[in-house]
Structure 1
Amino acid sequence: MEESHIEEGERQNKLLDVAPALISVHPSQKSVAVTVGSDLRVFNLIDNSPVTLVDEANESFHKDSIRAIRYSESGKLFVSTGDDKLVKIWSAESWRCLNTICSEKRVTAVAVSHDDSYVCYADKFGVVWVVELDGINEGQILPSKKGVPLFSHYCSIITSLEFSPDGRYILSADRDFKIRVTVFPEEPLQGAHEIQSFCLGHTEFVTCIAFVSNPELAQSYLMSGSGDSTVRLWDITSGSLLDTCEVSTVAGHLETNESEPTQVTVTDICAIPDSSLAAVAIQSFQGILLLSCDLSAHTLSITKVIKIPGESFIPTSISLSTSTLWMVSGASNGSSQPGYSRVRVISCIESEKSSILEDEQIPGGTKLLEKLQGKVSVEESVMIAAAEAVRAAMSSLLMKKQYSEEKREFRKRSRNDKKTTN
């Protein structure tokens, strides 16, 4: 009886455990990667051909939903990680898996140091781990490694990790409304013990962070998105909130009444390099916003609203390379059926002549779409269902599951670290 009750609860949780489709583009636009559930799809834009991943240690690659992907700043490495507790480090040139790190808990965010020396990843218990990548720049397959604890948010789910442009700090955003700025130590394997500041001001979970900078100014500033319908600008040295930009009204979500305004979640932020502009994706908005940051005046403003016409395309993830913005929409509920995604591209995003490319105009054309989407065309009904699934599951993904007392006791007895070994 107890087990059947627990299994029913697990099934209900699984229905809400939706993984949004993710996209990441090589810094020099040499390749583009998309994930849907556990499926990692990569397309080589230089050769105009699909990429075959090579993982000598594990033929099935990821076994559960991928929650974070990222190219390193140099473009030499690519990291994927997620619910299967595996952090996989790939060569972004040969697409061989160079190392697989086994995490103790499910992984929610990942970051790579600017010199490719360290990978940091965060788990659902709020712990940030660090792995040293000695010898990986030569494309060597590394021996099995384990992460070393760097610091902790104490049971608050970490949603985003980012190194500061100068590499001095590692920033971590979490479900409990805060952003922590930690000094990245000279010897990370011994832990990070110095906190520079906390950026406090969001009233809901923080979903994404990105740095915006201008070549004319030495200092970079942090932008953050949240479930409170705002994008905020921060000075990370002091933790000061410089400005707040409300996005829900622009996205077409008017207040239902005076006492209960409708909130929307900022799902992704992508800063345009060497510019004061950033693209912003919103949970239920069919397009993106372009925000301008006046770094001298410390202000944020919406300069452009780009709507995607003709279909129900709501970006679940965005990525930028040079002046081209890549977007993906889609989701997976972890089932064995293949997931479908929809890829769209906006060229010259920072200029007045920006345009939404038709499928045949996208770099790679139909070959790319067939690889990254699962097929060339995706039915609109599929995309509508994906958008609804992401919208329904967003809050659930960032909340701790509530268990009954008997279920907690059952889970304690079945913990791996409590099992006896013969």
Structure 2
Amino acid sequence: MDEEEVSMEAAENSSKDVAPALIALHPLESCVAVAIGSELRLFDLQGKRSVSLSDNTGGSSHSDAIRAICFGANGRLFVSAGDDKLVKLWATDSWHCVRTICSEKRVSSVALSHDGQYVTFADKFGAVWIVDLDEDGNKDAMADKKAVPLLGHYCSIITSLEISPDGRFIASADRDFKIRITMFPRKPLKLANEIQSFCLGHTDFVSCLSFVCPPDYSEGFLLSGSGDATVRLWDYKSGCLLDTCEIGEKAGFVDYKEVEKEASPAVTNIHSFPDGSLVAVGIQSLNGVMLLKCESSTKTLSFLKTVYMEESFIPTSLSLSSSAKRLWVIMGASNLPSPGSSQLLTHVRVVSNLDQFLLDPHGCDPIILEDNDVPGGENLLTQLQGSLYASKEEATLAATASALKVAMHNLLIKKQYSEGKRELRKRSRNDRKQKQ
């Protein structure tokens, strides 16, 4: 490798992607999980204690950045996956790792079917894989099952996977502006999949998806967020765009359409109540969370309120509790350890009073809970944040916000290379097959 190739490789390694902190709630809000870097932190909200993970493989649960976490709809399983090419399944009654699945590439997204029978995961090369979990079967037989390919997006990073509540469809989104709706086969390991529709209309990477099923509209809708500063509402079966919410305008980014692409207010997270009565939206440049509502009668999105937090608090992940009507928000980056320590810092906030707010949006406001009022109190915050007080320092928050802007850009915005650099990259690829 010549000098130019070495310098190019060093520059790319120095801009390694920063992994954002993630948060996920148990469906009944009995526990909360946080992922930061390669760490999984859990807290039992019912027992008001931290949770220790048990993994027979030894060592830490993951050896590289975790990129996706989620609970199953019934709450019996929790899944984590990331850059170490491992998908780990945890039984939430014991928090023992019941299965480790090896991926060929780094994992970018995961989803569990609502019946708990299948786990699907996507990798950085645009392939979606599926594994039959067979929860009620023999555990030894379950451990021997391999992931099989389900569908693909042709070398485009898949940013989000969601399985519809009725289990009939799987939605997959990528950084090339596409949303694909695929019929979920009755026998996914034996039958070919069939494309139901494409939801096309975003003008930048699609970052997140969420299904909603209003009680008076049994077919349900799909919500999507994008780097084009919009949240869109879809009739996903036909691929028809129903409504578009310009979140840049609603959040007060008046001139966002005039700024450079990487500075636009990209949507980073969407999380909603199952019926669509409340939709929480995280925005890359917003120090808070935007609240929307899905109007099933008119098939539109309506803006409710923006809940502002500290000036430098830019949420990296959201999770809504439909049972307790609370919104959990986290901020953190995998390259920012606590001062004098190697432990990574996060900052957790909880927004309450959402049930009263939905009853009277003009008379009642959501409440950002003080530390002492957060479920689990200081014990929870110390466990999930890494430090009770250091994570609140203004300098730490500002550095985290800056790091995550770079992370989002590096992950989802395609890099542009000159012809010369493209040729250099081809020559220095390390995944070429070696001649025998």
- Report the CA distance shift for 1:98/1:256 in structure 2 as closer, same or farther (over 3 A): closer
Counterparts of 1:300-311 in structure 2 under 5 Å? 300-308=301-309, 310=310
Pairwise CA distance, 1:333 = 3.3
Rounded to whole Å, the distance in 1 between the matches of 2:329 and 2:140 is: 32
Rounded to whole Å, the distance in 2 between the matches of 1:418 and 1:351 is: 64
Alignment of 1:406 with 2:419, yes or no, is no
Pairwise CA distance, 1:350 = 4.5
Moved more, 289-298 or 229-238: 289-298
Rounded to whole Å, the distance in 1 between the matches of 2:86 and 2:136 is: 18
RMSD: 2.4
Partner of 1:81: 81
Rounded to whole Å, the distance in 2 between the matches of 1:215 and 1:125 is: 37
Q: Which digits, 9 at most, give the CA deviation of each residue in 1:312-368, with x for residues without a partner?
A: 211100001121110000111399933210000011324324211011110111111
Which of 330, 341, 350 is the matching residue for 1:345? 350
Partner of 1:374: 386
Partner of 1:328: 330
- Report the CA distance shift for 1:410/1:74 in structure 2 as closer, same or farther (over 3 A): same
Q: Which digits, 9 at most, give the CA deviation of each residue in 1:135-187, with x for residues without a partner?
A: 36888894244210001111111000001111100010110111100000011
The answer to whether the 8 A contact 1:165-1:220 is kept is: no
Which of 345, 353, 357 is the matching residue for 2:369? 357
Moved more, 370-379 or 328-337: 328-337
Pairwise CA distance, 1:61 = 1.6
The answer to whether the 8 A contact 1:86-1:100 is kept is: yes
Moved more, 102-111 or 346-355: 346-355
Rounded to whole Å, the distance in 2 between the matches of 1:257 and 1:241 is: 21
TM-score (norm 2): 0.90
Segments of structure 2 that go 5 or more residues without pairing to the other structure are 358-363
Rounded to whole Å, the distance in 2 between the matches of 1:419 and 1:381 is: 52
Counterpart secondary structure, 1:248: helix
Counterpart secondary structure, 2:248: coil
Pairwise CA distance, 1:375 = 1.0
Rounded to whole Å, the distance in 2 between the matches of 1:80 and 1:157 is: 18
Rounded to whole Å, the distance in 2 between the matches of 1:134 and 1:61 is: 23
Pairwise CA distance, 1:3 = 7.6
Rounded to whole Å, the distance in 1 between the matches of 2:65 and 2:9 is: 19
- Report the CA distance shift for 1:151/1:337 in structure 2 as closer, same or farther (over 3 A): same
- Output the amino acid matched with 2:388: V
Rounded to whole Å, the distance in 2 between the matches of 1:128 and 1:159 is: 11
- Report the CA distance shift for 1:10/1:105 in structure 2 as closer, same or farther (over 3 A): farther
The answer to whether the 8 A contact 1:212-1:278 is kept is: no
- Output the amino acid matched with 1:406: L
Moved more, 294-303 or 134-143: 134-143
Counterpart secondary structure, 2:41: strand
Q: Which digits, 9 at most, give the CA deviation of each residue in 1:98-137, with x for residues without a partner?
A: 1111100000000001111100000011000001102368
* Identical amino acids, percent of aligned pairs: 52
Pairwise CA distance, 1:259 = 8.6
Rounded to whole Å, the distance in 2 between the matches of 1:273 and 1:240 is: 21
Alignment of 1:233 with 2:233, yes or no, is yes
Partner of 1:242: 242
Segments of structure 1 that go 5 or more residues without pairing to the other structure are none
Counterparts of 1:27-106 in structure 2 under 5 Å? 27-106=27-106
- Report the CA distance shift for 1:418/1:41 in structure 2 as closer, same or farther (over 3 A): farther
Rounded to whole Å, the distance in 1 between the matches of 2:26 and 2:411 is: 27
- Output the amino acid matched with 1:383: L
Counterparts of 1:21-420 in structure 2 under 5 Å? 21-135=21-135, 142-190=142-190, 192-255=192-255, 263-308=264-309, 310=310, 312-322=312-322, 323-333=325-335, 337-352=342-357, 353=364, 354-377=366-389, 378=391, 379-399=393-413, 404-411=422-429, 414-415=430-431, 418=434
Counterpart secondary structure, 1:281: strand
Alignment of 1:9 with 2:21, yes or no, is no
The answer to whether the 8 A contact 1:44-1:51 is kept is: yes
- Output the amino acid matched with 1:332: S
Counterpart secondary structure, 1:53: coil
The answer to whether the 8 A contact 1:158-1:173 is kept is: yes
Pairwise CA distance, 1:258 = 5.8
Rounded to whole Å, the distance in 2 between the matches of 1:256 and 1:201 is: 19
Counterpart secondary structure, 1:89: strand
Rounded to whole Å, the distance in 1 between the matches of 2:208 and 2:290 is: 15
Rounded to whole Å, the distance in 1 between the matches of 2:26 and 2:256 is: 41
TM-score (norm 1): 0.92
- Output the amino acid matched with 2:402: E
- Output the amino acid matched with 2:431: R
Rounded to whole Å, the distance in 1 between the matches of 2:72 and 2:212 is: 18
- Report the CA distance shift for 1:285/1:388 in structure 2 as closer, same or farther (over 3 A): same
Rounded to whole Å, the distance in 1 between the matches of 2:336 and 2:64 is: 7
Partner of 1:19: 19
Question: Could you say which structure has the greater relative contact order, defined with CA pairs below 8 angstroms and 6 or more residues apart?
Answer: 1
Q: Which digits, 9 at most, give the CA deviation of each residue in 1:12-65, with x for residues without a partner?
A: 344241111100000001110111111111111111111110110132221111
Counterpart secondary structure, 2:143: coil
Q: Which digits, 9 at most, give the CA deviation of each residue in 1:52-96, with x for residues without a partner?
A: 101101322211110000000000000000111000011111110
Counterpart secondary structure, 2:42: strand
- Output the amino acid matched with 1:338: Q
Counterpart secondary structure, 2:428: helix
Moved more, 283-292 or 328-337: 328-337
